[in-house]
Structure 1
Amino acid sequence: MTIGDFERRFMDHTPVLMDVRAHYAVLVPLVEWQGEPYLLLEVRSETLNRQPGEVCFPGGRMEPGEGPTQCAFRETREELGIPASAIRPIARLDELHHRDGTLLHPVLAQVDAGAVVHMSASHAEVKETFLAPVRFFRENPPQVYHYPLRAEVGEDFPYHLIGFDRGYRWRAGGMEVPIWSYRGHAVWGLTARIIKHLMEQLAEGEESNTPPVAAP
């Protein structure tokens, strides 16, 4: 092997996150209702094995050869019966790398209000849907809970191979869990993290566009 082998192998390489075992995409659906932007949210069916009854955005696992926007549109059609023709993509939002090794790709889009009125949600996946005004999330900061993440290293770890004893201090971490309560619905977890980050970005954009105050 030579240096040239490395050059040939990585000449056109596009960096990606390491250790991602699966990619997921969700649609962050904005709906204009009576002149005001709303977020369309759904409550997962109680019969689902994973996260039954939780509030979420429409989305799911990306299929082979599928991009985030394609996946988000497909899942929205399957879950809510809203066709791609009624969805206008706005932007890919910042991605979220979950500790379980999945990478979540949020896609911000506008959904036609008429399609929301006439949508037919899948009873197998969706218990109910509701609209929440963006204004609510902007004006009401969430409650934020923090919990620690600590390494649980087994007794069989070969410390002798790395040159350290069992007193080695493994790096700890933490997780932030924002929680909103809106009309009896708990908006929390990954969904709330996406909304919280989106609201923060909106606020930052407004600050950067504010003209400087003239000196007296």
Structure 2
Amino acid sequence: MAERLDPLAHRTVDQISSDFDFEPDPYFPPLDSLTPAAVLVGLIERPQGFSVLLTTRLDTLRRHAGQIAFPGGRCDAGETPWQAALREAEEEVGLAPDFVSPVGLSTPYRTGTGYLVTPVVAFIEAGFSLQPNPDEVADIFETPFGFLMDGANHETHERRLPDGGMRRFYAMTHDERFIWGATAGMLRILSHRLFGAPA
């Protein structure tokens, strides 16, 4: 596993993905107006293989309410994506930084809500404990890494927008959990970078 992920640390980002890869939006915010953010793509070694740490956001949050997401959030002034991802993971799920070992950065992802999100890939060592932040996180769970990286499990969905338009997006369904939008998009891009799956 480590040898498959190490090259991420040495790659230059040659593209930026977004919520609107299917249908480009002419009103999409320009790059220089986006708020930098980072998420932790935490890989945990289990007897059956690696799994990915994910959360379900509270239904009462102003943005992305009830969605499945990586721990993460906006970068504070002067923070690197790695520092922001570590800080946010500790704030959201109580993950102590001492248990997290960096691997590399995946492709930045623009969201329709105005963020430029850098996925930070890391291994989470055994012995950690988690505690959801009651103001942000409804649930913490793990999903098999192999399932998320398998292009056969990457679904395409459509939803009608309030203005009548149609939005297409990627999704992955595992154990009745619907992983979609930016989280699914970032996982699909990571799959493409690591294993050459179609993007």
Q: TM-score, normalised by structure 1?
A: 0.69
Q: CA RMSD in A?
A: 2.3
Amino acid at match of 2:118: H
Aligned 8 A contact 1:19 1:101 in 2? no
Does 2:74 correspond to 1:82?
no
Q: Which has the larger radius of gyration?
A: 1
Within 1, Cα distance between the matches of 2:98 and 2:86?
9
Q: Shift of the alpha carbon at 1:147?
A: 7.7
> How much does 1:18 deviate?
4.1
- Give the corresponding residue for 1:164: none
Paired residues of 1:33 and 1:113 also in contact (CA < 8 A): no
Q: How far apart are the structure 2 equivalents of 1:175 and 1:109?
A: 31
Give the 5 Å matches for 1:51-70. 51-70=64-83
Aligned residues: 163
Structure 2 residue identity aligned to 1:41? L
Aligned to 1:159: none
Structure showing greater relative contact order (alpha-carbon pairs closer than 8 Å, 6 or more residues apart): 2
Amino acid at match of 1:94: T
What letter matches 2:148 in structure 1? Answer: F
Instruction: Give deviations 1:10-65, integer Å, cap 9, x for gaps.
Output: xxxxxxx8433311110111111115111111000123222221100000011111
> Counterparts of 1:5-84 in structure 2 under 5 Å?
18-34=31-47, 36-84=49-97
Structure 2 match to 1:113: 126
Determine if the alignment matches structure 1 residue 145 to structure 2 residue 157.
yes
Is the 1:40–1:131 contact (alpha carbons within 8 Å) kept by the matching residues of 2? yes
Counterpart in the other structure of 1:200: 192
Q: Could you list the per-position Cα deviations for residues 121-171 of structure 1 after superposition, in whole angstroms to 9, with x for gaps in the alignment?
A: 11211111111111112343311136899xxxxxxxxxxxxxxxxxxxxxx
Query: Secondary structure at the residue paired with 2:33?
Result: coil
Unaligned runs of 5+ in 1: 1-16, 150-173, 206-216
User: Among 178, 202, 205, which residue is 2:170 paired with?
Assistant: 178
Report the 3-state secondary structure (helix = DSSP H, G, I; strand = E; otherwise coil) of the residue aligned with 2:153: coil
- Percent identity of equivalent pairs: 30
1:35 and 1:89 mapped to 2: Cα distance? Answer: 22
Residues 21 and 48 of structure 1, relative CA distance in 2, 3 Å threshold: same
SS at match of 1:113: coil
Give me the whole-angstrom Cα distance separating, in 2, the residues matched to 1:113 and 1:125.
25
Deviation at 1:189, TM superposition (A): 0.3
TM-score (norm. length: structure 2): 0.74
1:92 counterpart (95, 101, 105) = 105
Q: Which residue number corresponds to residue 19 of structure 2?
A: none
